């Protein structure tokens, strides 16, 4: 059976990708953020995952407000990085793991989740930035195959935090019942605190961000029990993306070890955070 080797959480701020594209990783404003990811990249190299399940939200590129699925799973052979208005990224396509994707879809339906199935779709910074932060610049090909899970964090009503946490448990079931000896890592992406519009545009909450990085490891049940309104009040309207970290955390054991954690503020009006978790057992 496939083996879940850990969970990774990270912000997916688009300007992080732009900083990498423009060679600004050593610039004074950006160096503290990128230095914080070096231990995580070492962990990835040491653990040698074969597959990355990436939980993220589309930002109006493949889905728009007229058609937004609550949950969707990519079942394609490849996923092309989309042009978000700055030119097509100089990144290779992501190789999909179709067999695991279809197995996940079937497991979700067995557990009363009904995802949209995407057999042809492009992916934006929601997956591009986390993959570059953890796996480094890919060269001609990414070192892992991916299974994308899309979560609606854009159009009201977004899913309940508890439902995302439950999805993580179903994901764990799918991974551990998949007939393979592959090593799988799960990425939960989005956040941390930020709001890009309205009367609180520019809102960041560093104290709550730092507490979240502790609580997602030690008290995930409490975070899963929060209302959606509490996420918006605490982390901002776009900071509600943190419910996607609960999918990653729900896939892990109740007790985990935090191998690495990092926080940087502000990154493009966003509190940017990272965590590397392993099962304590």
Catalytic residue numbers read 125, 194
Beta bridge partners of 258: 277
Beta bridge partners of 7: 186, 277
Kindly report the length of the chain. 281
- 154-184 burial: b if 16+ Cβ within 10 Å, else e: beeebbbbbbbbbbbebbbbbbeebebebbb
CA–CA separation, 176 and 121 (whole Å): 26
CA–CA separation, 219 and 216 (whole Å): 6
3-state secondary structure of 246: helix
């Amino acid at each position: 059976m496939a083996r879940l080797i850990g969970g990774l959480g990270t912000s997916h701020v688009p300007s992080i990708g732009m900083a990498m594209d423009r060679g600004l990783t050593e610039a004074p404003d950006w160096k503290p953020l990128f230095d914080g990811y070096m231990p995580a990249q070492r962990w990835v190299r040491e653990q040698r995952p074969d597959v990355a399940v990436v939980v993220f939200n589309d930002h109006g590129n493949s889905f728009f407000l007229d058609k937004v699925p609550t949950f969707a799973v990519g079942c394609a052979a490849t996923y092309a990085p989309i042009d978000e208005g700055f030119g097509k990224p100089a990144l290779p396509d992501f190789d999909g793991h179709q067999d695991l994707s279809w197995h996940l879809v079937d497991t979700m339906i067995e557990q009363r989740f009904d995802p949209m199935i995407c057999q042809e779709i492009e992916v934006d910074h929601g997956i591009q930035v986390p993959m570059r932060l953890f796996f480094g610049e890919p060269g001609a090909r990414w070192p892992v195959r991916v299974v994308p899970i899309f979560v609606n964090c854009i159009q009201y009503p977004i899913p309940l935090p508890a439902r995302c946490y439950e999805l993580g448990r179903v994901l764990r079931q799918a991974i551990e019942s998949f007939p393979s000896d592959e090593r799988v890592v799960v990425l939960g992406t989005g956040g941390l605190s930020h709001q890009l519009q309205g009367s609180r545009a520019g809102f960041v909450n560093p104290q709550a961000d730092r507490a979240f990085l502790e609580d997602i490891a030690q008290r995930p049940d409490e975070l899963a029990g929060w209302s959606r309104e509490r996420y918006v009040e605490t982390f901002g309207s776009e900071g509600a993306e943190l419910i996607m970290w609960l999918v990653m955390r729900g896939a892990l054991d109740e007790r985990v070890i935090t191998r690495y954690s990092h926080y940087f503020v502000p990154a493009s009006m966003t509190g940017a955070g990272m965590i590397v978790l392993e099962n304590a057992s």
